Amino acid sequence: MSDIFGFPQDREATSAAKVRALEALLIEKGVIGSDSVDTVLRHFETVAGPFNGARIVARAWVDPAYQQRLIANTPSAIAELDLPAGMAGAEGEHMAAVANDAHVHNLIICTLCSCYPWPVLGLPPYWYKDPVFRARGVREPRAVLREFGVDVPETKEVKVWDSSAQIRWFVIPERPANTDGMSEAELASLVTPESMMGVALVAPPQA
Amino acid sequence: MFTRFEEYAAAAMLGEPDSPPRLDGKLFFSNRWERDVFGLALSLSKAGCFEWEAFRQCLIASIARWEALDCANQPRWDYYERFLEALLSVTESSGTLSRAELERVLAER
């Protein structure tokens, strides 16, 4: 290990100072621009996140006809919303939506690798690529869902959708109770990427 | 296929030991400097200073060094400390900054 690395006591302040000095020197030398860091991060903060997916789900909740169109032709229904950015991003070429209801709970996995609809769900969670999740998700989805805290009753069918290079699936979760008076934007704030993968339910709003 | 560098870089780390913390489909930073060091690494690689894979190998090595420390000398786990160490390492090995320049950066704290 190089002697330029160490573990000082005031670690956070030290690391912050090192990063500040490093960035300042790199800008001074013209290696990067003064806005380079913000530019790359803005992509993750405004485009490659679950922002679009949450809006799509909220629209489907308030407009049943939209939900039908979303399931019938997902790219066309998404195009209706005129989402600000990100839909032309990677892995968004062929998306398809499925809806949870009183009879069916849907789960999304990718058994082969880690195909995932980034433009609607953002960054995949670290376990999505885990071989154990991928194998057990197909073999015993109810048990896997229970471990995620989702206990699907036996009366409900569990459908597993395998994302691939051809189609990336996402779930329209069930709208939670006590949300009748909420605006579309408020509803979107309840939607998590996990709920759009089927490994979580959307929690009702906090009282 | 990831055509944007930002998405390619994040996807390359997915499910690997060097994958950054995330929450609700977004990168998770608990401090401003963590966000900045992540952005710095991406910016430098995007600018062609080093291959993203070269940085990742430094990060994996940095994580392995932390793991190899005995308990008495092992500091609390901090992903972005490992990340900063890896960035300093690849910045020197790629010739982006000289060792003297890096020493100056580190002395400024």
For residues A46 and A85, is the Cβ–Cβ distance under 8 A?
yes
Which residues of chain B neighbour A166 with C-beta distances below 8 Å? Answer: none
Quick one: average pLDDT of A32-56?
A: 89
Handedness of CA B60, B62, B66, B68 (dihedral sign): positive
What's the pLDDT at A1?
44
For a pLDDT cut of 70, what percent of chain A falls above it?
90
Q: Which of residues B16 and A181 earns the better pLDDT score?
A: A181
Span between the terminal Cα atoms of chain B, in Å: 41
What's the pLDDT at B108?
67
B18 pLDDT more than 60: yes
| Largest pairwise CA distance in chain B | 45
Chains A, B: CB contacts within 8 A come to: 147
Quick one: average pLDDT of B20-45?
A: 91
* A121-134 pLDDT, tens digit each: 888 888 888 889 99
**What ipTM was reported for this prediction?**
0.91
When mean pLDDT is compared across A32-36, A133-137, A195-199, B3-7, the lowest value belongs to B3-7
What's the pLDDT at A115?
82
The verdict on whether A115 is a catalytic residue reads: yes
Task: List the beta bridge partners of residue A50.
Answer: none
pTM comes to 0.78
Taking CB atoms and an 8 Å limit, are B6 and A44 in contact across chains? Answer: yes
The verdict on whether A76 is a catalytic residue reads: no
| Domains along chain A with CATH numbers | 10-44 (no CATH), 49-197 (3.90.330.10)
* Chain A: residue whose CA lies nearest to B26: A49
CB of B14 less than 8 A from some CB of A: yes
Total domains in chain B come to: 1
* Chain B: residue whose CA lies nearest to A194: B24
What's the pLDDT at B106?
83
Q: Which of A13, A25, A91 sits opposite B105 (nearest CB)?
A: A25
What's the pLDDT at A84?
66
Question: What is the residue range of B78's domain?
Answer: 4-108
Q: Which of residues A172 and B104 earns the better pLDDT score?
A: A172
Quick one: average pLDDT of A43-66?
A: 90
Which residues of chain B neighbour A50 with C-beta distances below 8 Å? Answer: 24-26
- The number of beta carbons lying within 10 Å of the beta carbon of residue A126 is 16
* CATH number for position B61: 1.10.472
* A146-199 pLDDT, tens digit each: 999 999 999 999 999 999 888 899 999 999 999 999 999 999 999 999 999 999
